[in-house]
Amino acid sequence: MSDDRHHLSDPLFATPSAAPLRGRVRVPGDKSISHRALMLGGLAIGQTRISGLLEGEDVLATAAAMRALGASVERQADGTWLVNGVGVGGLAEPSDVLDMGNAGTGARLLMGLIASHNLTAFLTGDGSLRRRPMARVTTPLAQCGAQFFAREGGRLPLAVVGAKAAVAIDYRLPVASAQVKSAILLAGLNATGTTRVTEPEATRDHTERMLRHFGAKVVRIEEDGVGVVELQGEAVLRAADVLVPADPSSAAFPIAAALLVPGSDVTLSDICLNPGRIGLLETLREMGADLTIENGREENGEPIGDVRVRYSRLTGVTVPAERAPSMIDEYPVLAAIAAIADGSTHMPGIGELRVKESDRLAAMTDGLSQCGVRVEADADSMTVHGGADVVGNGRSGQAIKTDLDHRIAMAFAVLGLAARDGVRVDDAAPIATSFPDFVPLMRNLGADIRIDGDAAL
C-alpha cells in the first residue's frame, strides 16, 4: 500500500500546479461493471475470470457478500479474480449480516439477486448508506414474492426474505434509475415467466449487456415509443471471462484537471464509452473542451477507447435535463469545472443528487460558496456562475465537508488545482470506495495534491 493510501484518513490539500499535467494513465476499473461481473459470475455455472476489477471498498463489499452467499470469489497474485458460481437459484443463506459499507449500487443490486431466492439475509452499511432510501427498490421487488423489513423509508439495516417461488415482475419505472431496473432484472433470473421493465427515459444498460455476455435472454423493445426491457426467467448462466474497462466516472477527475491546468495534455486509457455513460464528455465538448477518442474497440459487449484531453478555455452551457441519467455521478466535478469556465452553467433535472452518498447538491453549493464561487440551487437544479478568480479556501482554515462522499472530495481536489489559494477537504478517506490510488495517480500527472500533516486543519 502506498503512503498516500495509508494516510487517507487525513485531510486533503490541493494547490495550483506549477507546471502542466502530462502523461498517459489508466484509472481503476468501472465500478458499475465490477459489481455486475462479481454478481453474475457468482450465479453462473463454471469459473469466471475477471481482469481489471475495481478493488475499491464498494466492490470488495460485493465480493465479500457473494462469498457469504455461497460463491467462491478469490483474488489471484496477478490481480485477476476467479469466481466459481453456484448457478441461478443456488445462493445459500448467509450466516452473518452482509455489510455493504458505502456501496449503494452493490446493496440495491444484491437485494434483487436475493429477492427471488428462498433465503433470508440481513443487509447493513456505513452511516452514509444507512441514510439512503431503498424503498424505490424494495417496492417493485416485493412483487416477485419477496418481503422486506426495514427502517422508516426502507432504509438499512433491513432484512430480505426471499420468495419461495418467485414470479416475474412487470414494472414501469417512475423515475430513471439503472439501479432499480437492474435489481428487477436480477430478480427475474430466478423467477417464473418474463420480467419486464418499462423505462420512459433510457438508463444505463450495463446489466443488459452483461446478462447477454453470460448467456441470459434479454431484449429491448419499443412499445408506443417507450423502451421496454424483457428478460426470460429461470435462466441458465454460463461462466464468461470479463475484462472490466476503466471507469468513466473516475476518469472525469483527471479529465477535469487537464482541462483546468494550462498547457496540460493527458490521455486516459481503456475508458468505458457506453452511450449511457458519456454525458459528461458530450457536455464538455459543448463547453469547448479539446477531447478526442482514440483506439475505439469493444470488450464484453461494451465500447471502450482512449480519451485524450488538452487544456481548454471553457464556456458555460445549459446541460439538457434528459442527459442527467448518463452523467449523474459526474455533476460534482462538472460543477467544479463550471466554477472556472467563463459564464454560467445551468444544470436542471438533477434532484437525484440529493439522495446519493450525500446530498450532493447541498455539498457542492456550500463548498463552492466557501471557495468564493457564486452558485444557486433549488430542489432539482444548480447554476454555477464562473469566469471570476476562484479564491478557494486554502487560507480560510475551514475545510470543505465531504460528508463521507468520495466524489465531493475528488471534485474539490480538482478545483484546488485552479483556485488561487488552493482547496482544503476535511476527509479523503471516502475516496477509497471508488478510486484508492487517486492521489498518487494525480501526483504522477503533476498535480499538487497531498494528504499529510501539512494539510491539517
Q: Which are the catalytic amino acids?
A: 329
- Cis before 140 (ω within 30): no
**What three-state secondary structure class fits 13?**
strand
Q: 3-class DSSP state for residue 442?
A: helix
Distance CA 385, CA 403 (A): 24
Q: What is the DSSP string of 132-158?
A: S--HHHHHHHGGGT-EEEEEGGGEEEE
Interatomic CA distance for residues 418 and 407, integer angstroms:
18
Record the cell numbers describing residue 66, joined without a space.
Answer: 457473494
Contact between 21 and 446 (Cβ < 8 Å): yes
DSSP string, 46-84: SEEEEES---SHHHHHHHHHHHHTT-EEEE-TTS-EEEE
Q: What's the CA gap between 8 and 119, in Å, rounded? A: 38
- Name the CA radius of gyration of the chain, rounded: 21
All 3 cell numbers of residue 78?
Answer: 496477478
Between CA 252 and CA 4 the distance in angstroms is: 20
- φ, ψ at 135 (rounded to 5°): -60, -30
Per DSSP bridges, beta strands 242-243 and 47-51 are parallel
Distance from the first to the final alpha carbon of the chain: 25
Nearest-angstrom CA–CA distance, 11 and 55: 22
| Amino acid found at 110 | L
Per-residue cell: 379: 430542489
Q: What cell does 60 get?
A: 470488495
Distance of CA 224 to the CA centre of its chain: 31
User: Do the bridges between strand 98-99 and strand 120-124 make them parallel or antiparallel, or are there none, so unpaired?
Assistant: parallel
Residue 420 near residue 413, CB atoms below 8 Å: no
Residues facing residue 232 across a β-bridge: 194
Label residue 193 exposed, middle or buried (CB < 10 Å: 0-12, 13-18, 19+): middle
Contact between residue 173 and residue 183 where contact means Cβ atoms under 8 Å apart: no
From the CB of residue 157, how many other CB atoms can be counted at a distance below 10 Å? 16
